């Protein structure tokens, strides 16, 4: 049977008609007009190829076919109701692996608080963290099912993707505590020393280079690394300087680093959480997404 050709609302009307054996009372019960109820009865008669209700001694009586339909119709309606009133998933019973792509520095900051929450709420869930490459690559991996969630700078997307802004990040300048430029920090002092850039693709240009363009000045990039965590040993032990998102400077690093606001305006960025729409109804993925939102917003 082709369900697309059937108006399932007829089940509601039919249930009332079978209970009441009376068109007017059935119409009143379901708040439908009498003509509309009569029309629905005719459609049901056509659908089931049976008169269903017949007049006998001035009253309407159920045919044998109608009597046989009473229980199945109620079961069908209860099944539909149960779909929309389904109980919440028992998170502690979920056993699934959720794959999340994000940058390593952010991972270090959220790892402990997130998994403390996960152990309490959904102890049988596991999370695999995959290295971040670029926003376009994260979207590709979400599309192809290689990732369940991505934390990145995600451009405005529509259609198959969901995107939530987690926070707005700003940049800071970091160097070792007794760096020569730290005594009288300025734009000149900043540009006088070699810089470290973080790029998974080996790019030597970034937000600072765009900010310097109007002045005609430039910085000297000496090291490009693929990981934010790889920057810290360099900054602590050399005269290199780095422009980093503020949340990449973890408490463990701050005692060894001098941190300044940039001496010229460098645009920050919004950090997003994204997933493919096919994960909308996945309770494990959505629970991890909720925990990520809670933990990252608290960083």
Q: Is 196 helix (H, G, I), strand (E, B) or coil?
A: strand
Task: Note whether 234 and 97 are same-domain residues.
Answer: no
Task: Note whether 157 and 278 are same-domain residues.
Answer: yes
Task: Note whether 195 and 250 are same-domain residues.
Answer: yes
- Residue 86 structure tokens: 């389904």
Inform me whether the pLDDT recorded for 236 exceeds 90: yes
Inform me whether the pLDDT recorded for 82 exceeds 80: no
- What is the band of 4 on the pLDDT scale with cuts at 50, 70, 90? low
Inform me whether the pLDDT recorded for 150 exceeds 90: yes
| Domain CATH code at residue 221 | 3.40.190.10
Task: Note whether 274 and 158 are same-domain residues.
Answer: yes
- Residue 289 structure tokens: 């997404």
Inform me whether the pLDDT recorded for 86 exceeds 70: no
Domain that holds residue 128: 91-163+270-298
Least confident among 40-49, 77-86, 185-194, 222-231: 77-86
Task: Note whether 37 and 108 are same-domain residues.
Answer: no
pLDDT at 54: 92
Q: Is 111 helix (H, G, I), strand (E, B) or coil?
A: helix
Domain termination site, one of 84, 117, 146: 84
User: How far, CA to CA in Å, does 265 sit from each of 84, 122, 213, 259, 294?
Assistant: 51, 43, 12, 16, 30
Task: Note whether 292 and 146 are same-domain residues.
Answer: yes
Task: Note whether 243 and 278 are same-domain residues.
Answer: no
User: How far, CA to CA in Å, does 275 sit from each of 129, 156, 161, 221, 272?
Assistant: 15, 13, 6, 35, 10
For residue 249, with 0-12 CB atoms within 10 Å meaning exposed, 13-18 middle and 19 or more buried, which class applies? Answer: buried
Task: Note whether 236 and 290 are same-domain residues.
Answer: no
CA gap 268, 122 in Å, rounded: 35
pLDDT at 190: 94
- What is the band of 78 on the pLDDT scale with cuts at 50, 70, 90? confident
Task: Note whether 219 and 246 are same-domain residues.
Answer: yes
pLDDT at 84: 62
Inform me whether the pLDDT recorded for 95 exceeds 80: yes
- Residue 187 structure tokens: 């734009």
How high is the mean pLDDT of the chain? Answer: 89
Task: Note whether 159 and 177 are same-domain residues.
Answer: no
Task: Note whether 177 and 256 are same-domain residues.
Answer: yes
- Residue 272 structure tokens: 């997003």
| DSSP strand pairing (195-198 vs 241-245) | parallel
| Domain CATH code at residue 56 | 1.10.10.10
- Residue 293 structure tokens: 């939102």
Rounded mean pLDDT of 167-177?
Answer: 93
Q: How many domains does the chain have?
A: 3
Task: Note whether 248 and 101 are same-domain residues.
Answer: no
CA gap 290, 283 in Å, rounded: 10
């Amino acid at each position: 049977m082709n369900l697309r050709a059937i108006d399932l609302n007829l089940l509601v009307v039919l249930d009332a008609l079978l209970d009441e054996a009376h068109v007017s009372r059935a119409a009143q019960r379901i708040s439908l007009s009498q003509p509309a109820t009569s029309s629905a009865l005719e459609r049901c008669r056509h659908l089931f190829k049976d008169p269903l209700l017949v007049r006998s001694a001035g009253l309407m009586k159920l045919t044998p076919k109608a009597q046989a339909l009473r229980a199945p119709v109620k079961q069908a309606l209860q099944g539909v109701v149960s779909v929309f009133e389904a109980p919440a998933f028992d998170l502690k019973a979920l056993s699934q692996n959720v794959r999340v792509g994000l940058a390593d520095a952010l991972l270090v900051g959220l790892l402990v608080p997130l998994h403390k929450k996960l152990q309490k709420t959904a102890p049988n869930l596991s999370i695999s963290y995959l290295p971040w490459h670029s926003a376009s690559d994260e979207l590709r991996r979400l599309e192809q099912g290689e990732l369940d969630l991505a934390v990145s700078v995600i451009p405005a997307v529509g259609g198959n993707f969901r995107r939530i802004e987690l926070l707005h990040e700003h940049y800071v300048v970091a160097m070792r505590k007794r760096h020569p430029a730290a005594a009288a920090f300025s734009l000149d002092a900043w540009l006088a020393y070699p810089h470290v850039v973080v790029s998974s693709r080996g790019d030597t240009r970034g937000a600072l280079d765009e900010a310097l363009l109007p002045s005609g000045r430039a910085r000297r990039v000496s090291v490009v690394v693929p990981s934010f965590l790889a920057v810290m040993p360099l900054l602590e032990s050399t005269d290199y300087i780095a422009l980093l998102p503020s949340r990449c400077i973890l408490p463990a690093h701050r005692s060894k680093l001098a941190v300044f606001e940039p001496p010229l305006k460098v645009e920050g960025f919004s950090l997003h959480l994204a997933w493919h729409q096919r994960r909308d109804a996945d309770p494990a993925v959505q629970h991890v997404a909720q925990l990520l939102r809670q933990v990252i917003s608290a960083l």
